[in-house]
A = this chain, B = another copy of it.
Amino acid sequence: MAVKKTSKRDSRAGGPTIATSVYDQLRDDIIKGAIEPGHRLGTDQLRGRYDVGISPVREALNRLLAEKLVCFEDQKGFHVAGIGEEDLYDLIRMRCWAEETALRESMANATPEWEESIVLAYHRLSRTPRSAQSEKFEFNPEWEVLHLVFHTAFLANCGSPRLLAHCELLADQSKRYRQLAASISFPARSEGDEHKTLMDKALSGDVEAAVEAHHAHLRKTMEIIIHSGLSLPAGKIAV
Q: A63-B62, A63-B66, A101-B97 are in contact. Are A90 and B17 (CB under 8 A)?
A: no
- Within the complex, the shortest CB–CB distance from A162 to chain B, in Å, comes to 5
A141 adjacent to chain B (CB < 8 Å): no
The reply to whether A90 and B160 form a contact with Cβ atoms under 8 Å apart is yes
Of residues 1 through 44 on chain A, the ones whose CB sits less than 8 Å from some CB of chain B are 15-17, 20
Contact of A91 among B59, B63, B66, B162 (CB under 8 A): B162
Number of copies: 2
A74 adjacent to chain B (CB < 8 Å): yes
Chain B residues with CB under 8 Å of A58's CB are 55, 59
Interface residue count on the A side (C-beta < 8 Å): 27
The reply to whether B59 and A239 form a contact with Cβ atoms under 8 Å apart is no
- Within the complex, the shortest CB–CB distance from A187 to chain B, in Å, comes to 30
Interface flags for A96-115 (1: CB within 8 Å of B; 0: not) read 01000100000000000000
- Within the complex, the shortest CB–CB distance from A224 to chain B, in Å, comes to 21
**Bound-complex Cα distance A16 to B73 (A):** 10
The reply to whether B163 and A94 form a contact with Cβ atoms under 8 Å apart is yes
A166 adjacent to chain B (CB < 8 Å): yes
The reply to whether A161 and B17 form a contact with Cβ atoms under 8 Å apart is no
Contact of A160 among B94, B160, B166 (CB under 8 A): B94
A172 adjacent to chain B (CB < 8 Å): no
Chain B residues with CB under 8 Å of A165's CB are 239
Most buried by B among A16, A62, A63, A160: A62
